[in-house]
Structure 1
Amino acid sequence: MKKRGLWLFIIGSLLVSVATHFFFYQQWLDKHWMIGPNDGLSQIATFKKFIYENYKSGNFFYAWDFGLGGGFYSQLAYYFSTSLVFLLSSVVIFILDSFQWIDPSNVEFWAQSNLFISIIRLSVILFITSHTFRYMKIQAFPAFTGAVIYGCSVMYMRHVVYWEFFADAFIWLPLVVLGLEKLIREGKQSWLIFAMSATLISNFYFAYIQLIFLILYVLGRWVIPLTDNELPRIKQFKLLVTSGLVSFCISAVAFIPAVYGFFNNYRPPYDREIPLFDLIDNILFASPYIVLPVVFVLLIFTFPLYRNRLFRFFAVFSFVLLIFHLSPLAASAFNGFSAPQYRFEYLLSFTIGGCVAIGLQRLNKIAVRFICLASFISLCIYLLSIDYFDFNIKIPKRAATEFSAVMITVFVLFIMFIILMVLYVYFQKKVLLVTIQLFVILWSIVSVNTAAKYGITENGGLEKVTHHYLMSDQYNSAEQRNLIEQVKRQEPDSLSRIDWMTSMRYNTPIVQNFNGTSLYSSIANKALLWFYWRDLKVDTGHETVSRYGTLGNRANLHALLQTTYWMRKKSQEVNVPYGFKKFAESNKYVIYKSDFSLPFIRTGKNIYSEKQLQTASVLDREHAMLSGVVFEEEATRQKLDLIKEKNAIKQATIKGVGAKYQNNHLSVANDKGGIDIIPGSVQKSTKDFYIGFSIKNVNGDGFPIKVNKYRTTRKPAHSIYKTNINDLIIRVPAKDIISIRLPKGEYELKNLTLYEEDYKELHQAVQAADHSPSFTWEKNKLTIDYNNQTREKWMALPIPFEKGWKLWINGKEQAIEKANYAFIGFKLYNGENHIEMVYHPPYFFPALALTIIGLFAWAMLYLRSKRRESGHLNNQSVKMRSLLMKVDKSRD
C-alpha cells in the first residue's frame, strides 16, 4: 500500500470510528458511560481495575482479595488477564497514570475509558479489514466499504457495551483470514502464526469460535479456489498444521493456564432440548445480533455476480453462517455445546462485508434486468418477513412502534439503493458508484447510532449508568466507603474479611477495595462453588451460577474464614450472625464485629475425612472443621469421635398457613402462605436453628423464599443460570416458630431437617486456638515459621485449594491436601517447620518453555521464508541475465 493510500485508510478509519460512536460521545459528555449496567459494571470495568492494580504492583498471579482468594491470572483469562488489547491499553494508561494525568484507581475511570478504547479499537479493525480485502484484489473504496459493514455492526457495539473483551475478536478475525490467504497463495506462514497466537493468547473462548471458522474457511477455499496459482492442498495442510502447532506453543504461557481455569470451573449441564432451527429474531429489520444490510440482500440476488469466484465464496459462506444463526443447535456448538449463545455472528458480518465489497466492485458488469430481478426477489423476501413477524411473534406496543419506523426506513433505503444501482449500471458513471458506497457507509454509521440509542441504551438499561449511579448506594457510595475505611484503619489484621456487598453486586469488594466474601466470575474455582452448593450448602441470597457470596450469616463459617465483620443496611440488619456486636454505623449502614475469631493459621490433632462425614449434617461438618480438620482422603484418618447433632424435625409440629402440605407437596393459596414449623422442646442453650429442605416449583417458575426474616430467591427451571441444586440450609435465630413463606403456587417440599446450634464447639475452638505463627505473605509467596512442640498433626489455612500451589517444609517438597472441603491443609513435622508456599498458574513453567520454543520456531520459519524469497529472486536475476545475454548474442 502506497504511503498516501495508507494515510487515507488510517484517517478514514478513525473518522468513521468516531462517527460510529457519536451517540455514546454525546452521552459521555452528559456523564452517561458506555458500559452495561449488569456485567459491564459488575465484571468488565471491575476486573479491568483489579487486574491493572495488581499488574501495576508487580503481582501477576494470585490475590487474597479475589473473592475468598484465588489465582486471578488463570481464572480471569476469559476476561482480561491475558488480553493483548487490554495489556496494550494498560501500558498507555500506566504512562498517563505515572504523570498523574488520570486516576485509574476507581471503577468509574474504566467505565469512562471504554468509549475511547472502543474508538481506537474500531479504527484498527477498519484498517486491518480494509487491508485484508485489498490483499484479495478488491479495490480501495469497496474494500473500505466492506470493512465498515463488518466493523460498524450491531454486534460490535453490543459486545463493546456488554462484554467488552468479546469485541477484541473483531481484530483477530481479519488477521486470521489475511494469514490464511498469504499461506494459501504464497506459502507464507508468519501472518497466520501471529494472528492465531494473538487469538489464543487473548481469549480461549473466541479462539475456539475462530477455529471453527478457520476450518470452514479452509474447506471452502479448497472447494472454491480464488486464484490460479495456489499451493497444492497437501502442502497447504502441512503448512496449516505447522502454523497451528507453532501458534499453540507461542500462546501456551497464556492459553494453557486459561484452559485449566475453564476446566476447573463448574457449570451445571444444559439439559433442555435444543431445537435444530428457530426464528429468534428478524435479521432484515431489527435484531440484537445481525441486521442484513439492504445492499447485501440486493447483491446476493444479482445472479451474474456468482460468476466471480471471490463473490461466490463470500456469498456461500454467508449463507452457511446465516443458517447457523437460525439454528440454536449451531449456537450451542459455537458455545462449547452448552446453552445456545449468539456470539459468533461477527463471523457473518465479516463475510457479508466481503460479499458487498466484491459485489460493488463488479457492479459495472451487470445488466439492468438483473438488478430489477434482484430487486423484485428482495422485495418479496422483505414483505414475507414483515408478514411472518407480524402474525407469529408478539411485539410490545412501544417496540411495535419502533419496529414500524425501522421498517419504513428500510423500505425507503431499499428504493434508494435500487434507483442508484440502476442509474449506475445504466450510465456507468463512477460518481454514482462512489455515491452508493458513501451511502452504505453513512447508513452503517446511522444504523449503529440508532441501535445504540434505542436497542442498547433505552432497552438495555444504559440510561442508568451515570456518574451519579456509580456514586450511589446501589453501587459505591461515599457513605459505604467511609465505613469500610474505618474498619481498615482500626483492624490490625490485613487478612480480615468483611461480609458485605451492595444489592446483587458480588464484586463489591473489588470495587470498594476490601477483603470480602463474594465473587462474580464466569470462571471460578469449582472447589469453592461446591463448598457453597453441596458441601456446606451456604445460601447466598440468590440462586445463580458463576457467583458465591456471603456466608449465610453462619458464625462458625465466619470464624473459620477470617470474616470478622458483617455489614448491612440498617433496614436489613436482621439475622445478625451469632456473637457479632455493633462496631460502627452511619446514617444508613451498620457494621458488626465478631467476638469469635480464629487465627489465620490453625493447627491441631483431630483429623476427619469427607467420607466419614458424608451422611452428616452441615452443622456436624462445621463442628468437625472447628474441632479439627476435614481432609478429602480417607487413608490413616482417626476414628470419628464427633458428637453428631440431632435432627429435631420429628419432634416439631408442621402446619400449613394459607396452604396445604401433604406427602411432600405444598399448595400455597396466597402470596403469604407456606408452613410453620413449631419446634418441640428447645434446649435453653440453643442460639440458632439450621432449617434444611429441598424445594422446587412444580410449574418451573422462579420464586422467593422467606424464612422468618431471612429472604432468598430461586431461579426458574428454564434459566441457564440455575444451579440445579434444590437443597437449602437457612440459619435463623432460635424462636418459637419457624415460618417458611412462598408466593402462590405448587411446590415440591421435602427432606425437612431442623438442627439446634448452641455454639459450644465455636467457643471451644476459640479458647483452644493458639496465636497464629509468624508468617509473611508477599504477592504469590507465603512463608511460615512454626515450632511444633506439641506434636500437632496438621496445619490448615483458609486459602482456597487449587492447582498451582507448591509446598516446601524444611526444604523438602510436600503434598498439599484439600482441607475443610475447599481449602488448603498439610501434615506437619515435629519440631521446627520452615514452610514455604508459592503459587504459579497451573503448568506455568512448562507452558513458558513451550512459548520460548514456539517463538524460536516462528523465527526459524520466518528466516527460512526470507532465504527462499532471496533465493527465488536470485534465480530470477540469473534467468534474466541469461536471457539478456542470449538477446545480445542474437544481435551479434
Structure 2
Amino acid sequence: MFGTYWITGHSLIWRLDGANQHLPLLENFRQAMGDLLSGKIDSLPQWSYQMGLGTDNFSVYSYYLIGDIFAYLTLLFPVSKVVIIYQWLIILRLYCAGLSFVFFASHFNFSKNVINTGVLVYLFNAFLLYSAEAQPFFTTPFIIFPLLVLGIEKILQGGSPWPLTFTFIWMLCSNYYFAFVLGLGAIIYLILRVVLYYLHDLNYLKTLGKLVFATITSVLTSAIILVPVVFAVTNSTRAASNFANGLKMYPLYYYLALPSQFINGGNRDFYFWSALGFASIAFFAIIFIFSRFKRYKLLATTFVLSFIMLLFPFFGALFNGGMAPSNRWTLLLCLPLALATCALIKNASWLSDRLFKYFSYALLVYAAVIGITYYFESDEKLFVPFIFLFISLAALMLVHFKKVAHPTRFLLLVVLANVSLNAIYYEAPYNGGYSNEMLPTKTYENLKKKMYAGLDHRLAPVDQKGYRVSSTSQNFDLGAGYNLYNNLPQTTTTLSSYYSVQNKYVGEFSEDMQNIQYDANVPLRQVDDRTILNNFLGVRYIFNWLNQDNYKKIPAGYYLDKTTKMVTDPNHDSQKDQQARRYKSDNAFPLFYWQDQVFTDKQQRKYTASQKERALASGVKVSEKAAAGLKRATIKDQTVEIPYRLISSRGNEIDTHNVAKMDSDETYQLLLTRPQDQEDDKYYPDSELHLEFDNIEYEPFSLKDQIKLEQLHKSSQGIHGLLDQNNRYNYYKYLRYHVLQGSPDSSFSLKVDSSRGTETIKQPKQDALSFYKDITNGTMNVGHFDNSLPESLTFTPSKLGNYSFDLKVIATPLAKNGQYQKQVKQIQQNKLDDLKLQKDQITGRIKTNKAGILTSTIPYSKGWKVKVNGKKQKLLRTNTAFIGVKLPQGNNKVSFTYELPGAKLGTVLSLVGLLFALVGGIVSFVFYRYSRK
C-alpha cells in the first residue's frame, strides 16, 4: 500500500487536510502538551489568536486530537520528529484496526488464514486506501466498531456491561462525528440482533439495565469533552446546513457507478462518499451469505439494509448529522463484509455445485451490468478488480474440486494479490493516482520555511503586533496542488482558516458582506481582495506571486514593500517571469478601536453589500438596545451606482432577468455607460469596482435540449470541423458528458474578466457535500482602478440554460485624501492603548470624550466576558461577528477574559459519571461475590 509512495518520492502527507490541518495541529498540540508536562501551565490556552481571526482551541483540537490516543504517542519523541511520527502513526492505526478485527474474528471458529483474509477485506478497501492518509483519524472507527459489537454482544449473552462502557467512552471522546456514526451503527446492530436471534430468549429487564448503565456512565464520564463539543458544533457554520443538500434522489451517474464501485478498489471518485472498493471475492461472499440466509440472517439482513441505504440521500444525510448526504457510514459495512468473506473462505471446500451455478450466473449478470455502465464510467482502474472477479471464482472452483493442498492459504494469497494491485492502481502517480495528491518528501518541512518565499521573515503574529496578513485570491500557488488554507506552520496570522468547526458569527459576517469566497469550512479565504474588508480585518501585508492568477488585483492603498529576486524565463517570455512580492498598507484598522457612531440591524437591512462594507469605516453595527443614546452613522454618497448595458457577443442587448445562453461560445460584454460630458475624462478614479448580484436564478435546459444545442453548435463549425461531423458519436459523447455531470442540475458559474483578473460566482454541485451552498447572491470585486473605471467587462455564464439576476455595478471611491482615508486615520487614533493579548485575556485602556462602542475583529463567542474599570459589563456582538463593549465618557480600563463554554458543566457531569461508575463497580463486585456463593 505504501510502497508506491516510497518509490515515487512522496510522503504520506496529503496536500489538503494533511498539510493544512492534521499535521500542523499535531505539531502545535505536541509542543503544548510537552510544555504542559514540563510544568508550563500557560501552554494550553483556551483561545487561539492565530487560527484564522481567532477561535476556541478546544473546538478545533476536540475534532482532530484531544480524544485521539495516537496523538499522545508523539510525546515519546522530540518535537522535531513529529513530521516523521505523523506518517508512522498512519501505518500504526491501520495495524491496530487489523488487530481489532483479528480480536473480533477470534470469537468465531475461524483459522488464522481465514481471519487474515478477512483482515485484507476489512482494511484494504477504497475507504481506507484514501482516508488513512487524507484524514488519519478516520481509521480509528475501524478499531472501535468491532469492539463495540463485541461489547453489545456480551451484554446480550448475559455478560458484563464494562467492555461496552469503556468502548463507549473511547468512542465519545475520540471524535464526536464518528461517535454519532458509530452510535447509530450500534443501535442498528442491537435492534437487528435482538429481532433476529434474541427476541424470545432475552431477559429484557436485566439487559436493558446493563445497556442503560453503559450508556449513562459513558455519556456522563465523557461529558468533560462532549458538552463543550455540543456548544461548539451548535454555534458553528455547519449548524444551518440544508438536509441532504436538498436531494431526494441521487443523480443518474451515481446509480450507474455504484455497481462497479463495489469492487473497484482503485477508484478515487467517491460519489457522495460511497467509498466501497472491496476485494473482488466479497462479491461471492455476499452470494454465499444469501444462499444460506437462515444461518446468516444478520449478515444477509445487513446487506439488504445497506443496499437500500445506498440508494437514497436521506440515509447519508441522517448519518451525517442532518447535513450533506455523505455516505461515510459505509465504514460500518466493512465489518460484515469481512466477516462474510471469512465465512466463505472457511466453507470453500464444501460448497455445493448448485452454489457455483449461482456464482457463475451472478457473475455473468454483474459483468454485463459493469459492461453497460462502462460506456459511461470508463475507468481503467476497474480492469484489475474486474479480472479478479474471474480469478476469485476460478480459485474457489480449484478449492472446491480439491486441486489445492492448502485451500485457505491459497485463497489468502489470491485476495492479497487482489488488494495489492488495487492499492498500486490507486496510489500510482499516473492518470490521477493518489500519490499525486501527496506532498513530495521533505516538502512540508520546506513549506514551513518558505511558504511566502521568505517574505514573512520577522513578521509577528496578531497577538504580538495586532495585525494580520493575507495573499491575493487564487494567486499564491506553491505547486503540487497545495491549497493555502491555513497558516499554522507560520508565526504570522492570516484571515483564512480551514477547520471542520468554524465560528458561525464569522460565517454570518462573510455572508452579510456577500463574500463570494465563503463556504462553511473556509469562511473568509482572502475576502475576494476587497480593500475595506482587508483594512477592517487588520491586514497589513498581502503576499502576491508575479504572473499567477489575479496578480494585478491588489487592493487600494497596498504598496510594494519587498520582493524576492526576479527569476526570468529562459526563453525571455516576460509573462513567465517569477517573483514573490509583499505589499504593505498603512490603512489597517487596529485590533480594538472606539467609535462614537453606530448602525443598527434595521438600518443596514436596506444597504447593499458594498454599502455594508463601506459602513465598517463609518460606524459600528450593534443591536437596537446597544445603540440607544448613540449617534446614528450614515453612508450617504460614499458609494456610487454605475449605469451599464449587457451586450451579447451576437450583438443583442440583454435583460439581466432573461439571459438565455444557447451557445457554449456565447459571451457578454458589460458596458459601463458614461455621461457624455465625461467620455474623455477620468471616470471615478481611485475607486474599487464591485458587481453586486442578487436574486440569482438558473434554470437548465432539459437533457434532450442540451444535447440538441451541443450538436447544433458542432455542426455549425462547417469545413473547420468537417472531420468531426459524426452525429451518432457526437450524440453519444454529449449524452455521456451530461450524464456524468449530472445534467440537468442546479450548478453553474458566473465569470467576469477584467484587466485586473478573473472573478467567479460559483454554485457548487450537490455532490460537493460540506462545500455545498445555495447561491442566490454574491458581490464580485473586479478590482481597484487608479486612473479610471474600465469601459467594459467580459461576462460569461458557464452552462447552457436560462439565467435571471439583479445586477448593480457599484464604485467605492478610495482616494488618498478622501473621506475614507480620513475615517481610517480617525479609527487608528481611537485604538485601544497598551493592548495586551495574553492567555485567554485581552487588556487595554482608552480615554473617550463621549460615550461610544469599543469594537474589534476578535470573533464573538459566549465564552467571552468583559469588565470596564473592574466592573462587569454586557458583552456586545459588534459588526455581526466580533466582541465589543459600550464605554462611557472618560478613562476606561478594559479587560476581556475567555472561558470555554460548557467546560464547568462538562466537568461536573464527568465527576458525577465517575461516581456513578464507581458505585456501579462496587455493586457489580458485590453481586458477583454473592452469586458465586
Please tell me the TM-score bracket, short chain as reference: 0.7 to 0.9
Q: Tell me the equivalent position of 2:839.
A: 779
Q: CA deviation at 1:618?
A: 3.3
Is contact 2:428–2:434 with CA below 8 Å preserved after alignment?
yes
Q: Tell me the equivalent position of 2:710.
A: none
Q: What amino acid is the match of 1:411? A: F
1:68 aligns with 2:53: yes
Q: Tell me the equivalent position of 1:372.
A: 353
1:330 aligns with 2:315: yes
Q: CA deviation at 1:35?
A: 4.0
Distance 1:493 1:859, change over 3 A: closer
Alignment of 1:550-699 (within 5 A): 550-571=526-547, 572-586=550-564, 587=566, 588-634=579-625, 636-637=627-628, 638=630, 640-645=632-637, 648-649=640-641, 651=643, 655-656=647-648, 660-664=652-656, 665-666=658-659, 670=665, 673-680=668-675, 686-694=686-694, 698-699=699-700
Q: Tell me the equivalent position of 1:184.
A: 156
**1:860 pairs with one of 903, 912, 919:** 919
Q: Tell me the equivalent position of 1:166.
A: 138
Alpha-carbon distance between aligned partners in 2 of 1:53 and 1:704, rounded to the nearest angstrom? 44
SS at match of 1:626: coil
Alpha-carbon distance between aligned partners in 2 of 1:813 and 1:236, rounded to the nearest angstrom? 52
Is contact 1:61–1:841 with CA below 8 Å preserved after alignment?
yes
Q: Tell me the equivalent position of 2:853.
A: 794
Q: Tell me the equivalent position of 2:99.
A: 127
Distance 1:781 1:303, change over 3 A: closer
Q: Tell me the equivalent position of 1:732.
A: 783
Alpha-carbon distance between aligned partners in 2 of 1:304 and 1:606, rounded to the nearest angstrom? 73
RMSD: 3.5
Deviations 1:528-556 (A, max 9, x none): 122222x222343x878644211333332
Distance 1:203 1:325, change over 3 A: same
Deviations 1:812-842 (A, max 9, x none): 4332111012111112245554433222332
Is contact 2:686–2:813 with CA below 8 Å preserved after alignment?
yes
Q: What amino acid is the match of 2:408? A: Q
Alpha-carbon distance between aligned partners in 1 of 2:139 and 2:608, rounded to the nearest angstrom? 47
Is contact 1:648–1:679 with CA below 8 Å preserved after alignment?
no
1:381 aligns with 2:365: no
Q: Tell me the equivalent position of 1:14.
A: none
Q: Tell me the equivalent position of 2:830.
A: 770
Distance 1:481 1:763, change over 3 A: same
Is contact 1:187–1:236 with CA below 8 Å preserved after alignment?
no
1:484 aligns with 2:456: yes
TM-score, with normalisation over the residues of structure 2? 0.80
Alpha-carbon distance between aligned partners in 2 of 1:362 and 1:859, rounded to the nearest angstrom? 46
SS at match of 2:246: coil
Q: What amino acid is the match of 2:389? A: V
Q: Tell me the equivalent position of 2:67.
A: 83
Deviations 1:706-741 (A, max 9, x none): 244232223345343343233224252242425332
Alpha-carbon distance between aligned partners in 2 of 1:342 and 1:456, rounded to the nearest angstrom? 22
Alignment of 1:205-224 (within 5 A): 205-224=177-196
Q: What amino acid is the match of 2:387? A: I
1:343 aligns with 2:343: no
Distance 1:442 1:61, change over 3 A: farther
Distance 1:765 1:567, change over 3 A: same
Q: What amino acid is the match of 1:454? A: Y
Deviations 1:584-630 (A, max 9, x none): 11131111111223322211322221221111233433343323311
Alpha-carbon distance between aligned partners in 2 of 1:631 and 1:737, rounded to the nearest angstrom? 37
SS at match of 2:528: coil
Alpha-carbon distance between aligned partners in 2 of 1:619 and 1:142, rounded to the nearest angstrom? 66
Is contact 1:68–1:517 with CA below 8 Å preserved after alignment?
yes
Alpha-carbon distance between aligned partners in 2 of 1:308 and 1:614, rounded to the nearest angstrom? 65
Q: Tell me the equivalent position of 2:762.
A: 715
Distance 1:741 1:253, change over 3 A: farther
1:93 aligns with 2:65: no
Q: Tell me the equivalent position of 2:573.
A: none
Alpha-carbon distance between aligned partners in 1 of 2:47 and 2:804, rounded to the nearest angstrom? 43
Q: Tell me the equivalent position of 2:420.
A: 449
Alpha-carbon distance between aligned partners in 2 of 1:612 and 1:693, rounded to the nearest angstrom? 21
Deviations 1:544-571 (A, max 9, x none): 8644211333332223222111111122
Distance 1:199 1:775, change over 3 A: same
Q: Tell me the equivalent position of 1:704.
A: 751
Is contact 1:36–1:461 with CA below 8 Å preserved after alignment?
no
Q: What amino acid is the match of 2:495? A: T
Bigger Cα displacement from structure 2, 238-247 vs 196-205? 238-247
Bigger Cα displacement from structure 2, 173-182 vs 349-358? 349-358
Q: CA deviation at 1:408?
A: 2.3
Alpha-carbon distance between aligned partners in 1 of 2:257 and 2:868, rounded to the nearest angstrom? 59
TM-score, with normalisation over the residues of structure 1? 0.83
1:750 aligns with 2:800: no
Is contact 1:647–1:753 with CA below 8 Å preserved after alignment?
no
SS at match of 2:21: helix
Alpha-carbon distance between aligned partners in 2 of 1:69 and 1:492, rounded to the nearest angstrom? 10
**1:538 pairs with one of 491, 511, 515:** 515
Q: CA deviation at 1:218?
A: 0.9
1:414 aligns with 2:393: yes
Q: CA deviation at 1:756?
A: 3.2
Distance 1:776 1:673, change over 3 A: same
Q: What amino acid is the match of 1:410? A: L
Q: What amino acid is the match of 2:177? A: Y
Q: Tell me the equivalent position of 1:273.
A: 248
Q: CA deviation at 1:781?
A: 2.2
Is contact 1:39–1:162 with CA below 8 Å preserved after alignment?
yes
Distance 1:495 1:438, change over 3 A: farther
Alpha-carbon distance between aligned partners in 1 of 2:652 and 2:639, rounded to the nearest angstrom? 24
Deviations 1:663-715 (A, max 9, x none): 31345764664312134457767533333234565534335332442322233
Alpha-carbon distance between aligned partners in 2 of 1:705 and 1:822, rounded to the nearest angstrom? 30
Q: CA deviation at 1:497?
A: 0.9
Distance 1:486 1:812, change over 3 A: closer
Bigger Cα displacement from structure 2, 43-52 vs 566-575? 43-52
Distance 1:764 1:149, change over 3 A: closer
Bigger Cα displacement from structure 2, 547-556 vs 270-279? 270-279
Is contact 1:506–1:520 with CA below 8 Å preserved after alignment?
no
Is contact 1:601–1:772 with CA below 8 Å preserved after alignment?
yes
Q: What amino acid is the match of 2:68? A: L
1:241 aligns with 2:178: no
Alpha-carbon distance between aligned partners in 2 of 1:716 and 1:315, rounded to the nearest angstrom? 41
Q: CA deviation at 1:37?
A: 3.7
Q: What amino acid is the match of 1:750? A: D
1:741 aligns with 2:799: no
Deviations 1:622-679 (A, max 9, x none): 3433233111445543453414237644655665556644331345764664312134
Distance 1:793 1:199, change over 3 A: same
Q: Tell me the equivalent position of 1:886.
A: none
Deviations 1:178-223 (A, max 9, x none): 2112222234111111111111111111111112211111112212
Alpha-carbon distance between aligned partners in 1 of 2:868 and 2:33, rounded to the nearest angstrom? 29
Alpha-carbon distance between aligned partners in 2 of 1:472 and 1:868, rounded to the nearest angstrom? 57
Q: CA deviation at 1:843?
A: 0.9
Question: Which consecutive residues of structure 2, in runs of 5 or more, have no partner in the other structure?
Answer: 36-42, 268-274, 567-578, 701-746
Alpha-carbon distance between aligned partners in 2 of 1:440 and 1:795, rounded to the nearest angstrom? 72
Is contact 1:776–1:782 with CA below 8 Å preserved after alignment?
yes
Deviations 1:238-268 (A, max 9, x none): 3212221221112222222223333223355
Is contact 1:518–1:548 with CA below 8 Å preserved after alignment?
yes
Is contact 2:646–2:655 with CA below 8 Å preserved after alignment?
no
Give the fraction of aligned pairs with identical amino acids, expressed as a percent.
Answer: 18
Is contact 2:469–2:495 with CA below 8 Å preserved after alignment?
yes
Q: CA deviation at 1:438?
A: 2.8
Q: What amino acid is the match of 1:676? A: L
Q: Tell me the equivalent position of 1:885.
A: none
